[in-house]
Amino acid sequence: MDLTLTDDQLMIREAAQSFLADTSDSAAVRSAMASSTGFDAAVWQRIAGELGWCATAVPEQYGGLGLGPVALALLLEQMGRHLLCAPFFSTVCLAANWLAEGGCDASRQRFLPEIAEGKLRLTMPVNESANDWIDGKQVLRARREGAGWRLDGICARVPDAGTADWLLLPARLDERSGQHWATGMFAVPRNASGLNIDALETWDATRRFFRVELNGVTLMPQQRVDHAHRGIDGAMRSAALARLYLAAEQLGGAQACLDLTVAHTATRKQFGRTLASFQAVKHRCAEMMVRIEALRSAVYGAAAYAADSVHGEPPEALALECAMASALAADTYFYCAQEAIQLHGGVGFTWEYDPQLYFKRAQASSHWFGTADALRERIAAAVFA
Protein backbone atom coordinates (compact mmCIF):
# COMPACT_ATOMS: atom_id res chain seq x y z
CA MET A 1 0.00 0.00 0.00
CA ASP A 2 1.34 3.38 -1.02
CA LEU A 3 0.06 6.48 0.75
CA THR A 4 1.70 8.93 -1.65
CA LEU A 5 -0.93 11.36 -2.90
CA THR A 6 -1.11 11.64 -6.68
CA ASP A 7 -0.72 14.97 -8.44
CA ASP A 8 -4.47 14.98 -9.13
CA GLN A 9 -5.25 14.41 -5.49
CA LEU A 10 -2.88 17.16 -4.40
CA MET A 11 -4.50 19.48 -6.91
CA ILE A 12 -7.99 18.69 -5.62
CA ARG A 13 -6.90 19.41 -2.06
CA GLU A 14 -5.18 22.64 -3.06
CA ALA A 15 -8.15 23.86 -5.10
CA ALA A 16 -10.63 23.04 -2.32
CA GLN A 17 -8.47 24.80 0.23
CA SER A 18 -8.22 28.01 -1.76
CA PHE A 19 -11.89 28.03 -2.84
CA LEU A 20 -13.15 27.48 0.71
CA ALA A 21 -10.75 30.02 2.22
CA ASP A 22 -12.55 32.59 0.04
CA THR A 23 -16.14 31.40 0.23
CA SER A 24 -16.38 29.83 3.69
CA ASP A 25 -14.55 32.16 6.04
CA SER A 26 -15.89 32.95 9.48
CA ALA A 27 -18.23 35.71 8.24
CA ALA A 28 -19.65 33.47 5.49
CA VAL A 29 -20.23 30.60 7.93
CA ARG A 30 -22.02 32.89 10.37
CA SER A 31 -24.16 34.35 7.59
CA ALA A 32 -25.14 30.85 6.41
CA MET A 33 -25.95 29.85 9.99
CA ALA A 34 -28.36 32.76 10.25
CA SER A 35 -30.02 32.18 6.87
CA SER A 36 -33.33 30.39 6.41
CA THR A 37 -31.94 27.49 4.38
CA GLY A 38 -28.68 27.13 6.34
CA PHE A 39 -26.44 27.50 3.30
CA ASP A 40 -25.50 30.02 0.62
CA ALA A 41 -27.27 28.98 -2.60
CA ALA A 42 -24.69 30.77 -4.77
CA VAL A 43 -21.79 28.92 -3.15
CA TRP A 44 -23.66 25.63 -3.45
CA GLN A 45 -24.25 26.37 -7.14
CA ARG A 46 -20.51 26.80 -7.66
CA ILE A 47 -19.59 23.68 -5.65
CA ALA A 48 -22.17 21.42 -7.25
CA GLY A 49 -22.31 23.00 -10.69
CA GLU A 50 -19.02 24.64 -11.69
CA LEU A 51 -16.57 22.69 -9.54
CA GLY A 52 -18.33 19.33 -9.88
CA TRP A 53 -17.47 18.24 -6.34
CA CYS A 54 -20.65 16.13 -6.11
CA ALA A 55 -19.34 14.00 -8.99
CA THR A 56 -16.01 13.19 -7.30
CA ALA A 57 -16.69 9.65 -6.14
CA VAL A 58 -19.74 8.83 -8.28
CA PRO A 59 -18.78 5.96 -10.64
CA GLU A 60 -18.03 7.03 -14.20
CA GLN A 61 -20.79 4.82 -15.61
CA TYR A 62 -23.28 7.06 -13.79
CA GLY A 63 -21.78 10.30 -15.01
CA GLY A 64 -19.36 10.78 -12.14
CA LEU A 65 -15.58 11.30 -12.06
CA GLY A 66 -14.94 7.97 -10.35
CA LEU A 67 -12.03 9.41 -8.34
CA GLY A 68 -12.82 7.26 -5.35
CA PRO A 69 -12.69 7.62 -1.58
CA VAL A 70 -9.24 9.25 -1.28
CA ALA A 71 -10.18 12.29 -3.34
CA LEU A 72 -13.55 12.65 -1.63
CA ALA A 73 -11.94 12.35 1.82
CA LEU A 74 -9.49 15.13 0.90
CA LEU A 75 -12.42 17.37 -0.06
CA LEU A 76 -14.23 16.61 3.19
CA GLU A 77 -11.11 17.43 5.19
CA GLN A 78 -11.06 20.93 3.70
CA MET A 79 -14.82 21.35 4.18
CA GLY A 80 -14.44 20.45 7.84
CA ARG A 81 -11.54 22.83 8.23
CA HIS A 82 -13.64 25.70 6.91
CA LEU A 83 -16.92 24.60 8.55
CA LEU A 84 -18.62 24.65 5.15
CA CYS A 85 -22.38 24.97 5.53
CA ALA A 86 -23.88 23.03 2.60
CA PRO A 87 -26.04 19.98 1.91
CA PHE A 88 -22.95 18.18 0.61
CA PHE A 89 -22.55 15.51 3.25
CA SER A 90 -26.21 14.47 3.04
CA THR A 91 -26.32 14.40 -0.76
CA VAL A 92 -22.91 12.92 -1.51
CA CYS A 93 -21.60 11.09 1.56
CA LEU A 94 -24.94 9.66 2.68
CA ALA A 95 -27.29 9.33 -0.30
CA ALA A 96 -25.02 8.99 -3.35
CA ASN A 97 -22.67 6.78 -1.37
CA TRP A 98 -25.52 4.52 -0.32
CA LEU A 99 -26.98 4.37 -3.84
CA ALA A 100 -23.62 3.43 -5.35
CA GLU A 101 -23.03 0.70 -2.77
CA GLY A 102 -26.47 -0.69 -2.04
CA GLY A 103 -28.95 0.79 -4.51
CA CYS A 104 -30.72 -1.14 -7.28
CA ASP A 105 -29.65 -0.47 -10.86
CA ALA A 106 -32.78 1.55 -11.69
CA SER A 107 -32.30 3.85 -8.69
CA ARG A 108 -28.68 4.49 -9.56
CA GLN A 109 -29.67 5.38 -13.12
CA ARG A 110 -32.43 7.58 -11.81
CA PHE A 111 -30.46 9.56 -9.22
CA LEU A 112 -26.66 9.33 -9.55
CA PRO A 113 -26.19 11.22 -12.84
CA GLU A 114 -28.28 14.17 -11.64
CA ILE A 115 -26.46 14.20 -8.29
CA ALA A 116 -23.15 14.21 -10.15
CA GLU A 117 -24.34 17.12 -12.26
CA GLY A 118 -25.27 19.04 -9.12
CA LYS A 119 -28.95 19.21 -10.11
CA LEU A 120 -30.39 17.06 -7.37
CA ARG A 121 -30.06 17.04 -3.60
CA LEU A 122 -30.87 13.93 -1.58
CA THR A 123 -30.63 13.05 2.06
CA MET A 124 -30.88 10.13 4.46
CA PRO A 125 -31.32 9.81 8.21
CA VAL A 126 -28.09 9.51 10.16
CA ASN A 127 -27.93 6.02 11.61
CA GLU A 128 -26.85 6.55 15.18
CA SER A 129 -25.70 3.00 15.70
CA ALA A 130 -22.47 1.12 15.13
CA ASN A 131 -24.51 -1.53 13.33
CA ASP A 132 -24.87 -0.32 9.74
CA TRP A 133 -28.65 -0.33 9.10
CA ILE A 134 -28.80 -4.12 9.09
CA ASP A 135 -30.03 -4.84 12.58
CA GLY A 136 -33.67 -4.37 11.61
CA LYS A 137 -34.19 -1.72 14.27
CA GLN A 138 -35.55 0.87 11.88
CA VAL A 139 -38.12 3.20 13.30
CA LEU A 140 -40.16 3.52 10.09
CA ARG A 141 -42.55 0.73 9.07
CA ALA A 142 -43.29 -0.19 5.46
CA ARG A 143 -46.38 -2.25 4.62
CA ARG A 144 -47.37 -3.53 1.25
CA GLU A 145 -50.34 -1.67 -0.13
CA GLY A 146 -51.59 -2.92 -3.47
CA ALA A 147 -48.56 -3.21 -5.75
CA GLY A 148 -46.76 -0.49 -3.79
CA TRP A 149 -45.96 0.51 -0.25
CA ARG A 150 -47.28 2.56 2.65
CA LEU A 151 -44.81 4.17 5.06
CA ASP A 152 -45.48 5.30 8.63
CA GLY A 153 -43.37 6.54 11.50
CA ILE A 154 -41.02 9.25 12.66
CA CYS A 155 -37.36 9.89 11.91
CA ALA A 156 -36.11 12.06 14.75
CA ARG A 157 -33.14 13.63 12.94
CA VAL A 158 -32.59 13.90 9.21
CA PRO A 159 -29.96 16.35 7.93
CA ASP A 160 -31.00 18.85 5.25
CA ALA A 161 -34.43 17.24 4.83
CA GLY A 162 -36.07 20.65 4.48
CA THR A 163 -34.14 21.51 1.33
CA ALA A 164 -33.51 18.08 -0.21
CA ASP A 165 -35.38 17.07 -3.37
CA TRP A 166 -35.66 13.45 -2.25
CA LEU A 167 -35.32 11.54 1.00
CA LEU A 168 -33.94 8.00 1.13
CA LEU A 169 -35.62 6.37 4.10
CA PRO A 170 -34.87 2.92 5.52
CA ALA A 171 -37.96 1.16 6.85
CA ARG A 172 -38.66 -2.12 8.60
CA LEU A 173 -40.63 -4.58 6.49
CA ASP A 174 -43.17 -7.07 7.78
CA GLU A 175 -40.87 -9.94 6.88
CA ARG A 176 -37.79 -11.53 8.40
CA SER A 177 -34.28 -11.58 7.05
CA GLY A 178 -32.38 -14.17 9.03
CA GLN A 179 -32.70 -13.30 12.70
CA HIS A 180 -33.70 -9.68 12.07
CA TRP A 181 -36.61 -7.88 10.54
CA ALA A 182 -35.83 -7.13 6.93
CA THR A 183 -35.13 -3.55 5.93
CA GLY A 184 -36.07 -1.83 2.70
CA MET A 185 -34.87 1.54 1.43
CA PHE A 186 -37.45 3.91 -0.01
CA ALA A 187 -37.11 7.07 -2.09
CA VAL A 188 -39.65 9.72 -1.06
CA PRO A 189 -39.95 13.15 -2.71
CA ARG A 190 -39.97 16.04 -0.27
CA ASN A 191 -43.44 17.15 -1.36
CA ALA A 192 -45.03 13.69 -0.90
CA SER A 193 -48.44 13.76 0.67
CA GLY A 194 -48.43 12.60 4.29
CA LEU A 195 -44.84 13.75 4.80
CA ASN A 196 -44.25 16.42 7.46
CA ILE A 197 -40.83 17.99 7.83
CA ASP A 198 -40.10 20.22 10.81
CA ALA A 199 -36.88 22.13 11.36
CA LEU A 200 -34.99 21.50 14.59
CA GLU A 201 -33.11 24.27 16.30
CA THR A 202 -29.73 22.64 16.83
CA TRP A 203 -26.86 24.02 18.90
CA ASP A 204 -24.56 23.28 15.98
CA ALA A 205 -26.09 25.71 13.50
CA THR A 206 -23.58 24.87 10.77
CA ARG A 207 -25.85 21.96 9.85
CA ARG A 208 -29.60 21.76 9.56
CA PHE A 209 -31.56 18.87 11.01
CA PHE A 210 -35.24 18.07 10.63
CA ARG A 211 -37.81 15.86 12.28
CA VAL A 212 -39.55 13.85 9.57
CA GLU A 213 -42.97 12.32 10.17
CA LEU A 214 -44.69 9.98 7.74
CA ASN A 215 -48.42 9.37 8.01
CA GLY A 216 -49.51 6.84 5.41
CA VAL A 217 -47.15 7.99 2.69
CA THR A 218 -47.97 5.82 -0.32
CA LEU A 219 -45.24 4.82 -2.76
CA MET A 220 -45.05 3.15 -6.15
CA PRO A 221 -43.25 -0.21 -6.31
CA GLN A 222 -40.21 1.34 -8.02
CA GLN A 223 -39.73 3.68 -5.06
CA ARG A 224 -38.23 0.80 -3.13
CA VAL A 225 -34.61 1.29 -4.17
CA ASP A 226 -32.41 -1.25 -2.38
CA HIS A 227 -30.59 -3.87 -4.42
CA ALA A 228 -32.17 -7.30 -4.14
CA HIS A 229 -28.90 -9.15 -3.51
CA ARG A 230 -26.29 -6.74 -2.34
CA GLY A 231 -28.45 -4.84 0.10
CA ILE A 232 -26.67 -5.95 3.25
CA ASP A 233 -23.08 -5.81 2.01
CA GLY A 234 -23.86 -2.52 0.32
CA ALA A 235 -25.33 -1.10 3.50
CA MET A 236 -22.21 -2.13 5.41
CA ARG A 237 -19.86 -0.69 2.81
CA SER A 238 -21.76 2.57 2.56
CA ALA A 239 -21.92 2.91 6.35
CA ALA A 240 -18.16 2.33 6.50
CA LEU A 241 -17.50 4.96 3.84
CA ALA A 242 -19.85 7.45 5.51
CA ARG A 243 -17.81 7.03 8.72
CA LEU A 244 -14.63 7.61 6.74
CA TYR A 245 -15.95 10.82 5.18
CA LEU A 246 -17.17 12.11 8.52
CA ALA A 247 -13.78 11.29 10.03
CA ALA A 248 -12.08 13.25 7.24
CA GLU A 249 -14.33 16.23 7.95
CA GLN A 250 -13.58 15.96 11.68
CA LEU A 251 -9.85 15.81 10.90
CA GLY A 252 -10.15 19.14 9.07
CA GLY A 253 -12.06 20.61 12.01
CA ALA A 254 -9.44 19.44 14.50
CA GLN A 255 -6.68 20.95 12.34
CA ALA A 256 -8.52 24.28 12.27
CA CYS A 257 -8.76 24.26 16.08
CA LEU A 258 -4.99 23.86 16.29
CA ASP A 259 -4.33 26.50 13.62
CA LEU A 260 -6.59 29.02 15.39
CA THR A 261 -4.87 28.31 18.70
CA VAL A 262 -1.33 28.63 17.38
CA ALA A 263 -2.23 31.90 15.66
CA HIS A 264 -3.92 33.31 18.79
CA THR A 265 -1.13 32.35 21.20
CA ALA A 266 1.48 33.83 18.86
CA THR A 267 -0.02 37.32 19.19
CA ARG A 268 -1.58 37.49 22.63
CA LYS A 269 0.92 38.71 25.26
CA GLN A 270 0.90 38.37 29.05
CA PHE A 271 3.79 39.02 31.46
CA GLY A 272 5.60 40.70 28.58
CA ARG A 273 5.80 37.60 26.39
CA THR A 274 3.58 35.75 23.96
CA LEU A 275 1.42 32.92 25.27
CA ALA A 276 3.14 30.71 22.69
CA SER A 277 6.47 31.11 24.50
CA PHE A 278 5.16 29.37 27.63
CA GLN A 279 6.10 25.71 27.69
CA ALA A 280 2.75 24.76 29.21
CA VAL A 281 1.06 26.22 26.13
CA LYS A 282 3.59 24.77 23.66
CA HIS A 283 3.19 21.28 25.05
CA ARG A 284 -0.58 21.41 24.80
CA CYS A 285 -0.40 22.56 21.20
CA ALA A 286 2.17 19.86 20.46
CA GLU A 287 -0.13 17.24 21.99
CA MET A 288 -2.92 18.44 19.69
CA MET A 289 -0.60 18.09 16.71
CA VAL A 290 0.37 14.56 17.74
CA ARG A 291 -3.27 13.52 17.90
CA ILE A 292 -4.14 15.28 14.66
CA GLU A 293 -1.28 13.68 12.70
CA ALA A 294 -2.22 10.29 14.17
CA LEU A 295 -5.78 10.89 12.97
CA ARG A 296 -4.52 12.01 9.56
CA SER A 297 -2.60 8.77 9.23
CA ALA A 298 -5.73 6.83 10.22
CA VAL A 299 -7.97 8.68 7.76
CA TYR A 300 -5.57 8.59 4.81
CA GLY A 301 -4.78 4.94 5.52
CA ALA A 302 -8.44 3.95 5.77
CA ALA A 303 -9.21 5.91 2.58
CA ALA A 304 -6.41 4.12 0.72
CA TYR A 305 -7.71 0.84 2.10
CA ALA A 306 -11.22 1.70 0.87
CA ALA A 307 -9.84 2.61 -2.57
CA ASP A 308 -8.14 -0.80 -2.81
CA SER A 309 -11.16 -2.73 -1.54
CA VAL A 310 -13.54 -4.11 -4.11
CA HIS A 311 -17.23 -4.88 -4.31
CA GLY A 312 -17.94 -8.50 -3.58
CA GLU A 313 -15.32 -9.04 -0.92
CA PRO A 314 -16.63 -9.36 2.63
CA PRO A 315 -17.09 -5.82 3.95
CA GLU A 316 -16.02 -6.54 7.53
CA ALA A 317 -12.33 -5.59 7.09
CA LEU A 318 -13.27 -2.28 5.50
CA ALA A 319 -15.81 -1.74 8.28
CA LEU A 320 -13.06 -2.13 10.90
CA GLU A 321 -10.69 0.28 9.12
CA CYS A 322 -13.36 2.95 8.95
CA ALA A 323 -14.60 2.29 12.50
CA MET A 324 -11.00 2.83 13.59
CA ALA A 325 -10.75 6.19 11.81
CA SER A 326 -14.20 7.24 13.01
CA ALA A 327 -13.68 6.45 16.69
CA LEU A 328 -10.37 8.29 16.67
CA ALA A 329 -11.83 11.26 14.78
CA ALA A 330 -14.73 11.81 17.20
CA ASP A 331 -12.40 11.85 20.20
CA THR A 332 -9.65 13.89 18.53
CA TYR A 333 -11.97 16.57 17.22
CA PHE A 334 -13.60 17.09 20.58
CA TYR A 335 -10.24 17.12 22.35
CA CYS A 336 -8.85 19.77 20.00
CA ALA A 337 -11.99 21.93 20.16
CA GLN A 338 -11.90 21.82 23.94
CA GLU A 339 -8.20 22.71 23.99
CA ALA A 340 -8.82 25.57 21.55
CA ILE A 341 -11.37 27.12 23.91
CA GLN A 342 -9.11 26.67 26.93
CA LEU A 343 -6.00 28.06 25.25
CA HIS A 344 -7.90 31.05 23.85
CA GLY A 345 -8.73 31.96 27.44
CA GLY A 346 -11.65 34.34 28.01
CA VAL A 347 -12.27 35.08 24.34
CA GLY A 348 -12.57 31.34 23.70
CA PHE A 349 -15.77 31.48 25.73
CA THR A 350 -17.33 34.18 23.54
CA TRP A 351 -19.76 33.90 20.63
CA GLU A 352 -17.53 36.24 18.62
CA TYR A 353 -14.49 33.93 18.38
CA ASP A 354 -14.70 30.77 16.31
CA PRO A 355 -13.61 27.96 18.68
CA GLN A 356 -17.23 27.60 19.86
CA LEU A 357 -18.37 26.78 16.31
CA TYR A 358 -15.92 23.87 16.09
CA PHE A 359 -16.71 22.81 19.64
CA LYS A 360 -20.42 22.50 18.88
CA ARG A 361 -19.85 20.67 15.62
CA ALA A 362 -17.37 18.31 17.31
CA GLN A 363 -19.95 17.32 19.90
CA ALA A 364 -22.87 17.13 17.48
CA SER A 365 -20.98 14.88 15.05
CA SER A 366 -19.47 12.64 17.73
CA HIS A 367 -22.29 10.08 17.70
CA TRP A 368 -23.25 9.85 14.03
CA PHE A 369 -23.02 6.21 12.95
CA GLY A 370 -22.21 5.11 16.49
CA THR A 371 -20.25 6.64 19.35
CA ALA A 372 -16.51 6.08 19.68
CA ASP A 373 -17.25 3.66 22.53
CA ALA A 374 -19.66 1.66 20.39
CA LEU A 375 -17.20 1.52 17.50
CA ARG A 376 -14.40 0.37 19.81
CA GLU A 377 -16.68 -2.35 21.13
CA ARG A 378 -17.26 -3.46 17.55
CA ILE A 379 -13.47 -3.58 17.03
CA ALA A 380 -13.02 -5.50 20.29
CA ALA A 381 -15.57 -8.08 19.16
CA ALA A 382 -13.53 -8.63 15.98
CA VAL A 383 -10.23 -8.78 17.86
CA PHE A 384 -11.58 -11.39 20.28
CA ALA A 385 -13.38 -13.38 17.60
Partner 1 sequence: MNDAAIMDVPQRSAEDRFRAEIADWMRAHLSGRFAELRHRGGPGDEEAFPELRKEWERELAAGGWTCVGWPREHGGRGLSITQQVIFHEEYARAGGPGRMGHIGEGLIGPALIRFGSAAQQKRFLPEIVAGAEFWAQGYSEPNAGSDLANVQTRCTQQPDGRWQVQGQKIWTSLAQESDWIFVLARSEPGSKGNKGLSFLLLPLRQPGISIWPIRQLGGGAEFNEVFFDGALADNEHMVGAPGEGWKVAMGLLEAERGVSTLGQQMHFSHELERIVRVAKQNGRERDAQIRQRIAHAWIGLRVMRYNALRMLAGDATSLGREALIYKYYWSNWHRDLGKLAMDVLGAEGDVRSDEPDIRALQQLFFFSRADTIYAGTNEIQLNLIAERGLGMPREPRGDSPMTTNNKP
By C-beta, is 274 or 363 nearer to partner 1?
274
By C-beta, is 107 or 261 nearer to partner 1?
261
Instruction: Note whether 283 binds partner 1 by CB under 8 A.
Output: yes
By C-beta, is 361 or 376 nearer to partner 1?
376
Q: Taking each helix axis from N to C terminus, what angle separates 231-267 and 316-344, rounded to the nearest 10 degrees? A: 20
Range in contact with partner 1 (rule: CB under 8 A) among 2-10, 72-80, 183-191, 235-243: 2-10
Instruction: Note whether 312 binds partner 1 by CB under 8 A.
Output: no
> In b/e form, how buried is each residue of 198-235, taking b as 16+ CB within 10 angstroms?
eeeebebbbbbbbebbbeebebeeebbbbbeebbbbbb
Instruction: Note whether 174 binds partner 1 by CB under 8 A.
Output: no
Instruction: Note whether 346 binds partner 1 by CB under 8 A.
Output: no
Instruction: Note whether 274 binds partner 1 by CB under 8 A.
Output: yes
Contact residue for partner 1 among 287, 353, 363, 366 (CB under 8 A): 287
Instruction: Note whether 351 binds partner 1 by CB under 8 A.
Output: no
Instruction: Note whether 114 binds partner 1 by CB under 8 A.
Output: no
Range in contact with partner 1 (rule: CB under 8 A) among 86-94, 114-122, 165-173, 371-379: 371-379
Contact residue for partner 1 among 146, 178, 272, 346 (CB under 8 A): 272
**In the complex, least distance from residue 216 CB atom to partner 1, rounded to whole angstroms:** 42
Which spans of this chain sit near partner 1 (rule: CB under 8 A)?
1-5, 10, 258, 262, 265-266, 271-274, 276-277, 279, 281-283, 285-287, 289-290, 293-298, 300-302, 304-305, 308, 321, 324, 327-328, 373, 376-377, 379-380, 382-385
